[in-house]
Amino acid sequence: MNLWCLHGAVGMAADWNDLSGRMAALGHTVHALDLWSYLDHGECDFEEFARRICEEARGEDSPPALIGYSLGGRLALHALLEDSRVWGGAMIVSAHPGLQNEDERLLRLSNDREWADKALAASWSEFLAEWESQGILQGVCMASLADRAQLEVRREAVARGFTAWSLGRQADLTPLLETVERPVIWLSGLRDQKFKNLADRVWPQMPDSYQLGPLAAGHRVPWEAPDDFADCVEHLIDLINR
């Protein structure tokens, strides 16, 4: 099966290299998308991204599985809502379905604008150090993430990602998720209580949805618990093939 994988904020397609190797050994292919390529030449909002990725997926011989982590999970939700028929199923990892309070949206948008400014103007090493110092990212990765130093040449696209794809710009998708007819797995980390609670709230509202875990991890589930994560991906494939 072809697995389309969407990385997180300040992430890279190569973050999925560990999963790619594991899946290749089982006869599956990981297609890791470079999300910044959608922003290299200007703004790309949630709806445009969803239209573009669904159009790309229609070129596949059979519907691929969609796996999104954090920011990538939010983008994956938009793709499912755009046209769930082009996907075999999906896994949403450590992702937010949308804020329900306008004041929270405005605050998040302001915070993301600050991150965008830092991505553009700060020393890249200082920006990365501040980003990695966030409490939510303090878990221990057992599988390697790609070297973020390589993203410096993409800093304009990374900055656009903070604003165009800010959680503050995202609608609360929860009421719409009941329209997704493909199997969807929600996954979170045991030490990431906020996103565990979000998954607990959202997954029962979808017609063919499942919650696995929580795994022994923080926010970066695929890299903090790579063995268990790979098992969950295999379970998704089984659901799609049932």
**Per-residue 3-state assignment (H helix, E strand, C coil) for 99-143:** CCCHHHHHHHHHHHHHHHHHHHHCCHHHHHHHHHCCHHHCCCCCC
The total number of structural domains that make up the chain? 1
Rounded to the nearest angstrom, the gap between the alpha carbon of residue 104 and the centroid of all alpha carbons in its chain is: 21
Burial class (CB in 10 A: 0-12, 13-18, 19+), 140: exposed
CATH number assigned to the domain comprising residue 184: 3.40.50.1820
Helices H, strands E: what count in the chain? Answer: 9, 6
* Per-residue pLDDT of the chain in tens (242 residues, 90 and over written 9): 999 999 999 999 999 999 999 999 999 999 999 999 999 999 999 999 999 999 999 999 999 999 999 999 999 999 999 999 999 999 999 999 999 999 999 999 999 999 999 999 999 999 999 999 999 999 999 999 999 999 999 999 999 999 999 999 999 999 999 999 999 999 999 999 999 999 999 999 999 999 998 999 999 999 999 999 999 999 999 999 98
State the residue range of the domain holding 142: 2-241
Which pLDDT does position 84 carry in this prediction?
97
Which pLDDT does position 176 carry in this prediction?
97
